[in-house]
């Protein structure tokens, strides 16, 4: 079904979205990497684990997911009776793209004595091939419940997997995927920035490569970084994750100074996630108006993928709100 993208002249988008969200009995969920205007009108803004839990628990009839496709698919897997719309169906993820299901299946077959612990940033098909899903806020809690002698495949983010291996002295086999956003931070430019702000701590997401994480005073998920921003004692913080999260920091602590870590050209704009940025107010309005683009998942695949997500939710119980991998 094609989506009519025409917006009649003179439409007040905010007013229409507010009318439609009531009419459709919709909940609007947004990730911290979304544009400020989408974060501001969402019913709930959170990290990947918090958003999964909200999607599983909601009694709304429609979930309008302002995030990327694997997040909206997770919502549909956990809440199959709801209509789940994603404002732009092209909002993908470089980690998901790095891990085609047939290649992941072959990798698993080559390591039959390993279980697959898989980062939520992957396709529904890869979730169906996995034993337990993790998010960056739940990975530590979940990994610590798996016996040390259990062999593990970790995909698709080699930086998160490598960080966990180093921190917990594990030898998980790593899939070679990366997040293009966190990969783009420049160590040379970060060192220059630290010299300009010698008292400012650095908070980094574990999707960053080790040469960035090694400079961090705090390493954690988006919600963990936000908690750190709300509690650190200084007045300036360097933030090594997608810069749209700074919107929440500036709202909570307008008197403090939050600086996005730079990319190679010294301009942090190159660290904006191009997939997350595809969602706009206009597209959210259309998604609520037309209930399209809609996430649909074949039932057999959904049930298979749900097993690894249920394992995550069970093993991560108690993690929500902590959002925290802690210091490297
Ligand atoms: P979290 O919000 O779970 O830390 O995930 C970050 C991310 O890259 C989402 O795409
Ligand atoms: Fe994927 Fe990175 Fe964008 Fe998150 S920030 S959606 S991991 S490309």
Instruction: State residue 319's pLDDT score.
Output: 61
CA of 242 to the centre of ligand 1 (A): 9
Distance CA 239, CA 227 (A): 12
Say yes or no: 189 and 253 in one domain. yes
Task: Tell whether 189 and 226 lie within a shared domain.
Answer: yes
- Residue 135: which of 61, 222, 211 has the closest Cα? 222
CA 94-100-106 angle, 5° bins: 140
Quick one: 190 and 219 in the same domain?
yes
Residue 208 located in a structural domain: yes
Residues 201 and 135 in one domain: no
What lies within 8 Å, CB to CB, of 54 at 6+ separation is 27, 29, 44, 46
Q: Is residue 106 domain-shared with residue 247, that is, in the same domain?
A: no
Domains identified in the chain, total number: 3
- The runs of H, that is alpha helices, within 115-186 are 124-128, 139-143, 158-168, 180-183
Query: Of 258, 281, 202, 291, which is closest to residue 1 (Cα–Cα)?
Result: 291
**CA 11 to ligand 2 center in whole angstroms:** 32
- Identify the CA nearest to 148 among candidates 167, 122, 169: 169
In this structure, which residue's CA is closest to atom 4 in ligand 1? 221
Within a domain: residue 269? no
Nearest Cα to Cα of residue 131 among 111, 149, 116, 150:
116
- Using CA atoms, how far apart are residues 125 and 49, in angstroms rounded to an integer? 19
Same-domain check for residues 198 and 222:
yes
d(CA 33, CA 182): 12
The residue length of the chain stands at 328
Q: Residues enclosing ligand 2, CB less than 6 A? A: 33, 68, 93-95, 121, 179-181, 207, 242, 273, 275-276
Tell me 271's DSSP state.
Answer: G
- Between the CA of 50 and the centroid of ligand 2 the distance, in Å, is 16
Give the phi and the psi of residue 232 in degrees, each rounded to 5: -65, 145
Q: What is the mean pLDDT of each run of 10 residues along the chain (328 residues)?
A: 69 96 98 98 96 94 98 97 98 98 98 98 98 97 96 98 98 98 95 97 98 98 97 96 97 97 77 96 98 98 98 83 43
Do 24 and 76 belong together in one domain? yes
Is residue 135 in contact with ligand 1, taking CB distance under 6 Å? yes
Residues 169 and 310 in one domain: yes
Residues 186, 241: contact at Cβ < 8 Å?
A: no
Structure tokens belonging to residue 32: 């911290």
Residues 70 and 104 in one domain: no
The answer to whether the CB of 35 falls within 8 A of the CB of 244 is yes
Q: How far apart are the first and last CA of the chain?
A: 48
Q: Please tell me the predicted confidence (pLDDT) of residue 257.
A: 98
HSE-CB for 140 with a 13 A CA cutoff? 20
Answer whether residue 1 is part of any domain: no
How far apart are the CA of 33 and the centre of ligand 1, in A? 8
How many Å apart are CA 162 and CA 223, to the nearest integer?
A: 21
Q: Are residues 154 and 85 in the same domain?
A: no
pLDDT at 322: 42
Q: For the domain that residue 193 is a member of, what is the CATH number?
A: 3.40.50.10800
pLDDT of residue 285: 98
Q: What is the pLDDT of residue 6?
A: 77
pTM recorded for the entire structure: 0.94
Whose Cα sits closest to atom 3 in ligand 2?
273
Looking at residue 203, the DSSP 8-state letter turns out to be E
Whether 268 is in a domain gets the answer: no
- Residue 52's domain comprises 13-91+276-297
């Amino acid at each position: 079904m094609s989506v009519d993208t025409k917006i009649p002249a003179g439409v007040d988008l905010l007013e229409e979205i507010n009318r439609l969200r009531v009419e459709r009995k919709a909940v609007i969920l947004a990730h911290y990497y979304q544009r400020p205007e989408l974060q501001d009108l969402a019913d709930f803004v959170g990290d990947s684990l918090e958003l999964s839990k909200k999607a599983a628990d909601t009694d709304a009839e429609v979930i309008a997911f302002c995030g990327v496709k694997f997040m909206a698919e997770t919502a549909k897997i956990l809440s199959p009776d709801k209509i789940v719309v994603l404002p732009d169906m092209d909002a993908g993820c470089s980690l998901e793209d790095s891990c085609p299901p047939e290649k992941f299946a072959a990798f698993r077959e080559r390591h039959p004595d390993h279980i697959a612990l898989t980062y939520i940033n992957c396709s529904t098909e890869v979730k169906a091939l996995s034993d337990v899903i993790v998010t960056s806020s739940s990975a530590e809690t979940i990994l610590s419940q798996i016996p040390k002698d259990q062999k593990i495949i970790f995909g698709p983010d080699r930086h998160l997997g490598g960080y966990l291996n180093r921190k917990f002295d594990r030898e998980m086999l790593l899939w070679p995927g990366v997040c293009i956003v966190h990969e783009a931070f420049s160590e040379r430019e970060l060192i220059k920035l630290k010299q300009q702000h010698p008292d400012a701590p650095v908070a980094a997401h574990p999707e960053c490569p080790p040469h960035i994480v090694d400079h961090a005073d705090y390493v954690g998920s988006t919600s963990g970084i936000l908690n750190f921003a709300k509690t650190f004692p200084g007045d300036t913080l360097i933030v090594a994750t997608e810069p749209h999260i700074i919107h929440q920091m500036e709202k909570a602590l307008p008197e403090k100074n939050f600086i996005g870590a730079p990319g190679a050209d010294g301009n942090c704009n190159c660290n904006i996630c191009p997939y997350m940025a595809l969602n706009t107010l206009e597209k959210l309005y259309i998604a609520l108006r037309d209930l399209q683009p809609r996430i649909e998942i074949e039932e057999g695949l959904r049930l298979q993928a749900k097993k690894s997500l249920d394992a995550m939710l069970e093993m991560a119980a108690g993690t929500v709100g902590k959002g925290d991998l802690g210091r490297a």
